[in-house]
Chains A and B, each alone.
Chain A
Amino acid sequence: AQSVTQPDIHITVSEGASLELRCNYSYGATPYLFWYVQSPGQGLQLLLKYFSGDTLVQGIKGFEAEFKRSQSSFNLRKPSVHWSDAAEYFCAVGAGDTGRRALTFGSGTRLQVQP
């Protein structure tokens, strides 16, 4: 069975600082990987996704993520954080090769941005 681990429950960074959110997954085949963000009172919004090809994926809002198969990781990064990035971030894995559409999510990382 697939699983996702987000080791950091809560992270605080200063505005303008760089950010890296960690995500480790467990899946037997090549995974489909996603990062979602949930701002207060909003639904989850897709930041980026990886299916195949280039292991460095660019997303919206200046975010990027790198797929590292050897480490089973898909960490999310942003070079300079803005106050509006304060939200909860979820990593997810999908078993697209099986045809099953259900996503398995991690428990989320809450990001706080200090002025």
Chain B
Amino acid sequence: EAGVTQFPSHSVIEKGQTVTLRCDPISGHDNLYWYRRVMGKEIKFLLHFVKESKQDESGMPNNRFLAERTGGTYSTLKVQPAELEDSGVYFCASSLRQGSTNEKLFFGSGTQLSVL
């Protein structure tokens, strides 16, 4: 069974450019999460999809970030325009739709974004 896949693994862009990160969750997983880790600090929650709906987007830093999950399958996270402080590792995770006590998150290996 394939795990959570993220693409690209690395991205280097210039300030002001646009970048789109993609996450393919495990097939059948309704829950999809985006997290990011900036400058080796704590991993911070960005948002949570249940199928195609945004369940919680309280962690999105500003309106330069746009997340979508077309058809409740894969998800994209677009940063437009990118700023220096957006550099970091962006993680995606997915889980089956279960109660919170049984939920098990499966994480992708992340996308390392560098904004120069």
Contact = CB atoms under 8 A, between A and B. Distances in A.
Interface string B90-115: 01010000001101111111100000
B104 A41 contact: no
Interface string A83-95: 0000000101010
Interface residues of B, number: 28
B56 A102 contact: yes
Given A102-B59, A105-B44, A41 B109 contact: yes
A108 B37 CA distance: 10
A96 B99 CA distance: 9
A45 B3 CA distance: 12
Nearest to A43: B107
Interface of B: 3-4, 31, 33, 35, 40-45, 48, 55-56, 58-59, 91, 93, 100-101, 103-110
Interface of A: 4, 32, 36, 41-46, 51, 90, 92, 94, 96, 99-108
Contacts of A107: 40-42
B3 A43 contact: yes
A43 B45 contact: no
Given A96-B100, A101-B103, A102-B56, A4 B4 contact: no
